[in-house]
Amino acid sequence: MRIGDTLEGKIVGIKPYGAFVECENGLTGLIHISEIKTGYVDNIYRILSLGQTVTVQVIDYDEYTKKVSFSMRTLESVKKVVHSNHRFSNSRYKIGFKPLAKALPTWLADSMIFLKKDKKD
């Protein structure tokens, strides 16, 4: 077994954090919930069921402990783009630090006035 191999297996256990898959070669491994599909998985039990046959890809294999990590997400034929909306992000404008650089002289002038006034008091 090597990383990147594609195997067939059956779901033999489901937990909230992932599903255990037993392969035809006798090894059992885990599909972490983040590796089931692209995007957010709110309820693993709606996607997978016990006894279900799945195709998985090996993404990690520890030869000493015989622990295997599987992924179904890497085998998706159509890659889905998951957009994350950041509350304070304006990355769609591609303006970088320009607004900060533009406002910096005003902030410095205001700070100097405040500091000079504070020394007089």
- pLDDT class of 100 with cuts at 50, 70, 90: confident
Residue 98: predicted pLDDT: 77
Can you tell me the mean pLDDT for 89-97? 63
Q: What is the mean pLDDT of residues 14-34?
A: 91
Average pLDDT over residues 51-63: 91
pLDDT band of 91, cuts 50, 70, 90: low
Please provide the average confidence, as pLDDT, over all residues in the chain: 84
The total number of residues shown for the chain amounts to 121
Rounded to whole angstroms, how far apart are CA atoms 71 and 58? 7
3-state secondary structure of 6: strand
Spatial neighbors of 3 by CB under 8 A, at least 6 apart, are 58, 59, 60, 61
Q: Is the pLDDT of residue 87 over 80?
A: no
* Confidence check: pLDDT of 89 > 70: no
Question: What would the CATH number be for the domain defined by 6-75?
Answer: 2.40.50.140
Q: CA-CA distance, 17 to 48, in Å (whole number)? A: 12
Residue 54 pLDDT > 90, yes or no? yes
Q: What is the pLDDT of residue 9?
A: 92
Listed in order, strand segments (DSSP E) in 1-121 are 6-15, 18-23, 28-32, 53-62, 67-71
Where does the pLDDT of residue 18 fall: very low under 50, low under 70, confident under 90, or very high at 90 and above?
very high
Query: With left for phi above 0 and alpha for psi between -120 and 50, is residue 114 left, alpha or beta?
Result: alpha
**Residue-range domain boundaries for the chain:** 6-75, 91-120
H runs (alpha helix) in 25-120: 98-120
